[in-house]
Amino acid sequence: MYLSQHIKPISYLKENAAKLAAELKASGAPYLITQNGEAAMVVQSVQEYEQAQETMAMLKMLAQSEKNIEQGNIISADEAFSQLRKCRGLSEL
């Protein structure tokens, strides 16, 4: 669903907060709230917000990983597992 299909004025948010909260929870589609005819905020469910935050964190980790690869900051899988076992006090296989 496109954000452009869920545009409401701030007066709607004030008058229908409970209804809007239920819609957000049910559909997951965010709403664009306007004030004086201009975009003022995006309102979304907590579940959708948390999912977006997790996605952003994963994208940041991927970007950092790509940067490390480009800079040559890498080790083999065997070495990585060896270091993990050592940190955890596990014996080598």
Domain extent, residue 59, equals 48-85
In a domain, 32, yes or no: yes
Is the domain of 57 the same as that of 40? no
Q: What is the pLDDT of residues 11-20, one digit of tens each?
A: 999 999 999 9
Q: What is the pLDDT of residues 72-88, one digit of tens each?
A: 999 999 999 999 999 99
pTM for this predicted structure? 0.69
Q: What is the pLDDT of residues 63-73, one digit of tens each?
A: 999 999 999 99
Is the domain of 62 the same as that of 80? yes
Is the domain of 9 the same as that of 32? yes
CB count within 10 Å of CB 68 equals 11
Give me the sign of the Cα torsion angle 23, 44, 64, 77: negative
Q: Domain boundary residue among 11, 27, 44?
A: 44
Overall domain count for the chain = 2
Is the domain of 54 the same as that of 35? no
| Distance in angstroms (rounded) separating the CA atoms of residues 44 and 23 | 10
In a domain, 90, yes or no: no
Q: What is the pLDDT of residues 30-68, one digit of tens each?
A: 999 999 999 999 999 999 999 999 999 999 999 999 999
Is the domain of 54 the same as that of 40? no
